Structure 1
Amino acid sequence: MIQALVLALFQGLGLGASLIVAIGAQNSFVLRQGIKKHHVFVVASLCTLCDAVLISLGIGGLGVIISAFPPLTIIATWSGALFLLVYGFRAFRAALAPETLEGNATSAQPVRLRDTVLTVLAFSLLNPHVYLDTVVLIGSVGTHYHSLDRLFFAIGAMLASLIWFFSLAYGARWLAPLFRHPLAWKVLDGMIGCIMWIIAASLIRVGTGH
């Protein structure tokens, strides 16, 4: 009994980690916030919480409902593409006038907590890829487990998100000395802009049926 629960836990942890540890829009944002030391705990906590809620809904059967209503997917796809295009434009604009980190300073113009929260929620909830990973994929795999095994599988997947987001957010500060140089910010913002637009382009292709 205990061995089965532990196995389900690690299977959830492994699947969650394999899906979340990738360069994407959400991870790029978390990395940037960690380097700038802007509301790091809030960012990591919200990303983890959103994943936990979506995983719970997926294992509870929401993935099946979403698959049965294509219009929901279409709305999410175009909303996500628009958001990523706008954020990518902002990243490219920032690359033209990068900020530097001096000593313990985090930014000349600190970002408001409200703005940070809204941006995290947008990255977490407007990206169809997030729903595909957490609700549909993890949810569909989780439905094959029963009773406590399913619960431990879900906990394992949520634990992967917890470990990853906090490690990424707080580990990013070790890169802070590098980002005292304007060129480093140009490279980072340019990369983030490219990632945002590449993902947006993939969503547009899906939305147009190409």
Structure 2
Amino acid sequence: MRIVLVGPPGAGKGTQAAFLAKNLSIPHISTGDLFRANISQNTELGRRAKAFMDAGDLVPDEITIGMAKDRMEQPDAANGFLLDGFPRNVSQAEALDEMLKGAGMKLDAVLDLEVEEDEVVKRIAGRRICRLDSSHVFHVTYAAPKVEGVCDTCGGELYQRDDDSEATVRNRLEVYHTQTEPIIDYYKSQGLLVTIAALGEVHEITKRAMDALKK
């Protein structure tokens, strides 16, 4: 299957993508991984992307599209893939359609993880990270430490990252609404959109998505 996963920040796309890709035996292709791989391997696209990133500029669509195309042409993606973070706007969605059409392929579904904006803010703004070990992550509501502000595992101080502040989260949501949300209507008009309620336990959301794909 060839699937695109969309949804606002905090909807759980990364977590669901990993589970769905494993269940469907297809590679999980995320924009973040594409950039990291191309930059670490010093590819031409990676060098071009890094130049924009080092200057604090957005990476142009053509570079992101090029990276995605190269990755989707790898042998492990021959029988399908799950795209996470790409396409991020209608121009990229149109480019993806052209790529697939040129290869005699098409998307099977676009999964939209739906979650209320206030819930997104609550999920992200409530995160607390250990200063001694960033892999130790807590949440003031969903996974509170035994002692407020103290890591259960190593006793390190827990803090809120600047990226997780409510103001930053709401700004990220605004960017999502402006740039990415229009692809939902784009795919809906093609009859590809499948909306999944992204509230509940991780396995429950995965089951909803798998059940929807079977239909």
- Coarse TM-score class (shorter-chain normalised): under 0.3
Which is richer in helix? 1
Which is richer in strand? 2
TM-score, length basis structure 2: 0.25
Tell which has more relative contact order, 1 or 2 (C-alpha 8 A, sep 6+): 1
TM-score, length basis structure 1: 0.25
